[in-house]
């Protein structure tokens, strides 16, 4: 490493008033959920995205679980989900009794292949969950048209794509429900956190109850009932106002965060494009009608061996690159639902070959120069 500092895959950063707002939350004497900063985050998300209701949650996983509870479920109900996603996208629904039906992804954006949707719909299909991978919009026109025609609710797992747009409209505003993640690796973070965006107003009241342990506490605080009590099932999905304070500072700094991340993404693209073409490596594809979130930068290597060798090579130079996702359809859990290798061929192929480069708000151009040089230096298994 020649004494050079290592370059992590991710590094959280202060972007503005995080520390001031945390101190203010403590001075307010309200550090449990739904304090001043939680409300400020709700209002900001509702105003910018123009959604009827935003509710902070303890994670995107929990926002997905709330979605499953809100939809309700009869034994045997099915949910169509991509196999190429994080475990939570599907586990949240399985936890509440749904049976997953895995759909493959498109080879370009790695989003749900909308052309396969119709043939996977059965009389038992109760929900379609799409993931805007890397903060690039799924083909929402087609997905919504098919879902509406069959009367099936769509939930957007938008953990990568806050403030990104599809044909000018914000991701997270298409489905009846959408979920956000504020985990440390996301564009806007508070360490661990999430949000449920509610576009179909009929879910609002019950969502508030589910989020508050199955009680009508939110109505009580609004003075709509004179005592609160247990009215439904639920859990504790409220983050502390300390986390909301951190998050609010990040959301306020959204233009600054976006411009930093755009610069990083464009630097990688500009400096790796020629090399990639020469060596059969594919870079991200962003359709013209999508404004992406600049969430991540990935390479698709020609083979698993080359991907693994490049990760090891970068690591030897102190540069942390990672891969994801393992196909869910033939994970041990996926197999319990009948998933087999060969069911989602693009997912299987991509999962072996994808590599994510270090990407965080304060990644410097010097660091990126080192990453790019190390990638280009790689004389891997077959790259030559
Ligand atoms: C597509 C997707 N969905 C859901 C999650 C879960 O988010 P959280 O860690 O906030 O629960 C992740 C996390 O990386 C993700 O990538």
Confidence of residue 344 (pLDDT cuts 50, 70, 90): very high
Residue corresponding to tokens 């020649």: 2
Q: Which residues pair with 129 in a beta bridge?
A: 155
Q: Percentage of the chain with pLDDT > 90?
A: 95
Mean pLDDT calculated for residue range 302-330: 97
**Beta-strand pair 125-131/154-157:** parallel
pLDDT score of 75: 83
- How far apart are the C-alpha atoms of 315 and 310, rounded to whole Å? 8
- How far apart are the C-alpha atoms of 89 and 70, rounded to whole Å? 15
Report residues whose beta carbon is within 6 angstroms of any ligand 1 atom: 59-61, 85-86, 88-89, 131, 157, 159, 181, 183, 194
122-170 pLDDT, tens per residue?
999 999 999 999 999 999 999 999 999 999 999 999 999 999 999 999 9
The predicted model scores a pTM of 0.97
Computed over every residue of the chain, the mean pLDDT equals: 96
How far, in Å, is the centroid of ligand 1 from the Cα of 300? 21
13-35 pLDDT, tens per residue?
999 999 999 999 999 999 999 99
- How far apart are the C-alpha atoms of 275 and 281, rounded to whole Å? 8
The residue whose C-alpha atom lies closest to atom 8 belonging to ligand 1 is: 60
DSSP structural state of residue 362: T
53-100 pLDDT, tens per residue?
999 999 999 999 999 999 998 888 999 999 999 999 999 999 999 999
How far, in Å, is the centroid of ligand 1 from the Cα of 225? 35
Residue among 277, 282, 314 nearest 301 (CA): 282
pLDDT score of 379: 73
| CA geometry: angle 147, 145, 107, nearest 5 deg | 85
- How far apart are the C-alpha atoms of 21 and 34, rounded to whole Å? 15
Residue among 120, 88, 87 nearest 103 (CA): 120
pLDDT score of 3: 63
199-249 pLDDT, tens per residue?
999 999 999 999 999 999 999 999 999 999 999 999 999 999 999 999 999
Mean pLDDT calculated for residue range 184-195: 98
How is residue 203 written in tokens? 């879910």
pLDDT score of 343: 97
Quick one: how many helices (H) and strands (E) in the chain? 14, 12
Confidence of residue 348 (pLDDT cuts 50, 70, 90): very high
């Amino acid at each position: 490493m020649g004494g050079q500092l290592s370059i992590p895959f991710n590094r959280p950063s202060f972007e503005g008033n995080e520390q001031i707002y945390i101190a203010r939350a403590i001075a307010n004497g309200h550090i449990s959920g739904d304090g001043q900063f939680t409300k400020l985050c709700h209002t900001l998300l509702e105003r910018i995205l123009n959604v009827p209701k935003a509710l902070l949650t303890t994670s995107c996983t929990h926002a997905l679980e709330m979605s499953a509870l809100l939809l309700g479920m009869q034994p045997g109900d099915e949910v169509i989900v991509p196999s190429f996603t994080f475990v939570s996208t599907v586990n949240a629904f399985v936890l509440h009794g749904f049976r997953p039906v895995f759909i493959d992804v498109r080879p370009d954006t790695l989003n749900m292949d909308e052309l396969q949707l119709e043939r996977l719909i059965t009389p038992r299909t109760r929900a379609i969950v799409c993931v805007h991978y890397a903060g690039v919009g799924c083909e929402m026109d087609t997905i919504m048209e098919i879902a509406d025609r069959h009367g099936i609710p769509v939930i957007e797992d938008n953990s990568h794509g806050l403030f990104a747009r599809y044909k000018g409209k914000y991701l997270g505003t298409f489905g009846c429900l959408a979920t956000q993640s504020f985990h440390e690796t996301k564009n806007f973070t508070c360490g661990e956190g999430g949000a449920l965006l509610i576009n179909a107003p009929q879910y609002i009241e019950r969502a508030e109850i589910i989020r508050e342990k199955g009680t009508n506490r939110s109505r009580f605080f609004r003075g709509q009932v004179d005592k609160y009590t247990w009215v439904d099932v639920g859990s504790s999905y409220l983050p502390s106002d300390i986390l909301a304070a951190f998050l609010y500072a990040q959301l306020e700094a959204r233009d600054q965060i976006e411009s930093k991340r755009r610069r990083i993404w464009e630097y990688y693209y500009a400096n790796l494009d020629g090399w990639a073409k020469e060596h059969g490596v594919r870079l991200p594809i962003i359709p013209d009608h999508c404004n992406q979130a600049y969430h991540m930068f990935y390479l698709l290597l020609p083979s698993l061996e080359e991907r693994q060798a490049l990760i090891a090579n970068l690591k030897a130079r102190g540069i942390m690159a990672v891969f994801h996702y393992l196909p869910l359809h033939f994970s041990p859990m996926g197999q319990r639902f009948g998933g087999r290798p060969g069911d989602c061929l693009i997912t299987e192929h991509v999962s072996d070959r994808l590599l994510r480069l270090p990407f965080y708000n304060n990644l410097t151009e010097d660091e990126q120069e080192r990453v790019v040089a190390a990638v280009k230096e790689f004389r891997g298994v077959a790259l030559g």
